[in-house]
Amino acid sequence: MDLSAKIGRLELKNPILTGSGTFGYGIEFEEYFDIGLLGGIVVKGLSLRYKEGNPPPRICETPCGLLNSIGLQNVGIEKFYEEKLPLLRGKDCRIILNILGDDFLEYEKICEFIAGRGEVDGVEVNVSCPNVKKGGIHISKSPDAIFSLTEKLRKILDDIPLLIKLSPNVSDIVPFVEAVKDGGADGVTLSNTYLGIAIDLDTLSPKLSQIKGGLSGPAIKPISQRIVFESASSVDIPIVASGGILNFRDALEYIALGAVAVEIGTANFLNPESPLKILKGMENYLKERGHTSVRDFTGIFLKKNGINFPLLEDGDDI
Ligand SMILES: Cc1cc2nc3c(=O)[nH]c(=O)nc-3n(C[C@H](O)[C@H](O)[C@H](O)COP(=O)(O)O)c2cc1C
pLDDT at 316: 61
- pLDDT (0 to 100) of residue 134: 56
Torsion of CA 253, 258, 260, 262, to 10 degrees: -40
Residue having the nearest C-alpha atom to atom 12 of ligand 1: 20
Domain segments of the chain as ranges: 5-55+71-193+216-315
* pLDDT average, residue stretch 133-160: 86
CATH 3.40.50.300 is right for the domain spanning 5-55+71-193+216-315: no
Nearest-angstrom CA–CA distance, 264 and 20? 9
pLDDT, residue 103, reads: 87
Mean pLDDT check: name the lowest of 22-31, 45-54, 127-136, 207-216: 127-136
| pLDDT score, position 131 | 54
Give the Cβ contact number of residue 202 at 10 Å: 6
Burial of 22 (0-12, 13-18, 19+ CB in 10 A): buried
Query: Which residue has the CA at smallest separation from atom 22 of ligand 1?
Result: 243
CA 193 to centroid of ligand 1, rounded, Å = 6
* Active-site residue, 129 included: yes
90 φ/ψ sector (left φ>0, alpha ψ -120 to 50, else beta): left
Q: What is the model's pLDDT at position 160?
A: 98
The pTM of this model reads 0.97
Q: Tell how far CA 237 is from the center of its chain.
A: 15
Atom of ligand 1 nearest to the CA of 45: 8
Distance 270 CA to ligand 1 centre (A): 14
Q: Which residues line ligand 1 (CB under 6 A)?
A: 19-22, 44-45, 66, 68, 70, 72, 98, 126, 129, 165, 192-193, 216-217, 220, 242-245, 265-267
Structure letter (DSSP) for residue 260: S
- pLDDT tens digits for 4-26? 999 999 999 999 999 999 999 99
Query: What is the best residue among 195, 216, 239, 274 to mutate for testing ligand 1's pocket, by most ligand atoms within 8 Å of CB?
Result: 216
Q: Which atom of ligand 1 is nearest to the CA of 242?
A: 23
pLDDT tens-digit readout, 298-310: 999 999 999 999 9
158-217 pLDDT, tens digit per residue, is 999 999 999 999 999 999 999 999 999 999 999 999 999 999 999 999 999 999 999 999
Instruction: Name the average pLDDT for the chain.
Output: 94
Q: How confident is the model at residue 146 (pLDDT cuts 50, 70, 90)?
A: very high
Q: Cite the DSSP H helix spans in the chain.
A: 77-79, 85-88, 104-117, 136-139, 143-157, 174-182, 221-232, 248-256, 267-270, 274-288, 300-304
Atom index in ligand 1 nearest the CA of residue 100 equals 9
- Ligand 1 centroid to Cα of residue 316, in Å, is 31
Nearest residue CA, atom 4 of ligand 1? 21
Angle between the N-to-C axes of helices 174-182 and 143-157, in degrees from 0 to 180, rounded to the nearest 10: 30
pLDDT at 310: 96
